Structure 1
Amino acid sequence: MVLPQSTCNLMSAKNKQVAQPEIQKPRWLDAFLRNKFFEQCKDHPERKNELNKYCIDCDQAVCQYCISLGHQDHITLKVYRHVYKDVVSIGTMDKYIDCSEIQRYKSNKRLVISLNPLPHSGSTSNNEASCNTCTRKLNEPNLYRYCSISCKVKAISLEPNDLVPAVIPDQNHNAPQEGPDIPTQERPEANAELPRPRKRRRKGTPHRAPFF
């Protein structure tokens, strides 16, 4: 039995769709990147009470009072502010996605990565390496390819192949935790000579006093 050409083309298209690798990423990642942080919480409009956390279980930005009133047992991400950018700690984010090749910044002795790129005008010069997605200038182009998390996610969506690192990290993949350098204490050498106890010399042979 010979199938019509249209049927063969349809089956071939379905096979290609099945053969394409599925892009895996956390279900909450897109909503997390779209959220606006550091705005005043509408439920708790106290002074300087900002939405600087994200509840993964509820898919929403929350403040410190929101967490204490209904999100105590939920998984939350702390969002920081660095040079007008919303950033997150690598040590935290690397548990959920592969943060390799994303431009890193240092903020208050903490390594962070940006959620989204900053708006920029114009394009970079030929001598300047830029982000593979948004063409924003990279500080260290020899180490990184993307300026933010969203740029890497977009690149993976456009190029689902082995050339782009996976969004989901390996189970055994852990981010290096960097902390302040603690100077090591100086220890005395094992073979160093210890000071010898000082000997007291006897003044002389004792003599008993006469009885009479």
Structure 2
Amino acid sequence: MVLRSNSSSKRVNKNKQVAQPEIQKPRWLDAFLRNKFFEQCKDHPQRKNELNKYCIDCDQAVCQYCISLGHQDHITLKVYRHVYKDVVSIGTMDKYIDCSEIQRYKSNKRLVISLNPLPHSGSTSNNEASCNTCTRKLNEPNLYRYCSISCKVKAISPEPNDLVPAVIPDQNQNAPQEGMDIPTQERPEANAEFPRPRKRRRKGTPHRAPFF
């Protein structure tokens, strides 16, 4: 997901099917979305010391003390809380992925996007007002298609299992098993025509070639 787009300010027409480009996700993105933030750091269990940052170089959640003791020169992302969910600044995240069409929220005068779906008031049957992936309600459906980063990732980047057929046909499943009786009409030798013996003409009385 390294493509850049400036279409976030444009209105979205959900009735128009647009082919999504094939993209390559950053290697750390899946782990970042699965991580649990704002838990107490096990290495630094000080009071109110939470895992509120993510080290891209190490693929792990870290606290402020972790950074000062071993991640000073690493690339880190600051994670915030909004409606009891993890969010990240749109200005920071847009450096690494295309954040267009993802619902934006305002938290402490900062524009943020959610890592995973926010606890909205349930799903809606109106496709014009719901996330394309999780069908949760969107605040501005005319501008956005997805309510979170993970929803856009699921929509654009298919799972590996989606590219493999669910059932692989057995090439030998139609082959007759040993000991089974094959009907006469299915036997190839029953329908084959045997060549008839060639009739040879009987030789007559030999004659010499005439002399000139």
**Counterpart contact for 1:96–1:168, Cα < 8 Å:** no
**CA drift at 1:131:** 0.2
Are positions 1:74 and 2:82 aligned together?
no
Q: Could you tell me the TM-score, scaled by structure 1's length?
A: 0.63
**Sequence identity (%):** 93
Number of equivalences: 212
Q: Could you tell me the TM-score, scaled by structure 2's length?
A: 0.63
Q: Name the CA distance, whole Å, in 2 between partners of 1:21 and 1:211.
A: 92
**CA drift at 1:196:** 134
Greater C-alpha radius of gyration: 2
Q: Name the CA distance, whole Å, in 1 between partners of 2:153 and 2:49.
A: 30
**CA drift at 1:125:** 3.9
**CA drift at 1:110:** 0.6
1:49-88 aligned at under 5 Å gives the runs 49-88=49-88
Describe the superposition over 1:31-65 as per-residue Cα deviations: whole angstroms up to 9, x where unpaired.
00000000000000000000000000000000000
Deviates more, 1:4-13 or 1:97-106: 4-13
Describe the superposition over 1:119-153 as per-residue Cα deviations: whole angstroms up to 9, x where unpaired.
56753143861000000100000000000000000
Report the secondary structure of 2:17's partner residue. helix
Structure 1: stretches of 5+ with no match in the other structure = none
**Counterpart contact for 1:95–1:174, Cα < 8 Å:** no
Deviates more, 1:160-169 or 1:65-74: 160-169
Summarize the Cα distance change of 1:92–1:181 in structure 2 as closer, same or farther, 3 Å threshold.
Answer: farther
Describe the superposition over 1:171-193 as per-residue Cα deviations: whole angstroms up to 9, x where unpaired.
99999999999999999999999
**Counterpart contact for 2:81–2:87, Cα < 8 Å:** yes
**Counterpart contact for 1:52–1:63, Cα < 8 Å:** yes
Describe the superposition over 1:94-121 as per-residue Cα deviations: whole angstroms up to 9, x where unpaired.
0000000000001111100000013567
**Counterpart contact for 2:133–2:151, Cα < 8 Å:** yes
**Counterpart contact for 1:98–1:165, Cα < 8 Å:** no
Summarize the Cα distance change of 1:153–1:186 in structure 2 as closer, same or farther, 3 Å threshold.
Answer: farther
Structure 2: stretches of 5+ with no match in the other structure = none
Where does residue 30 of structure 1 map in the other structure? 30
**Counterpart contact for 1:52–1:79, Cα < 8 Å:** yes
Summarize the Cα distance change of 1:13–1:134 in structure 2 as closer, same or farther, 3 Å threshold.
Answer: closer
CA RMSD of aligned residues (A): 25.1
**Counterpart contact for 2:136–2:147, Cα < 8 Å:** yes
Where does residue 5 of structure 1 map in the other structure? 5
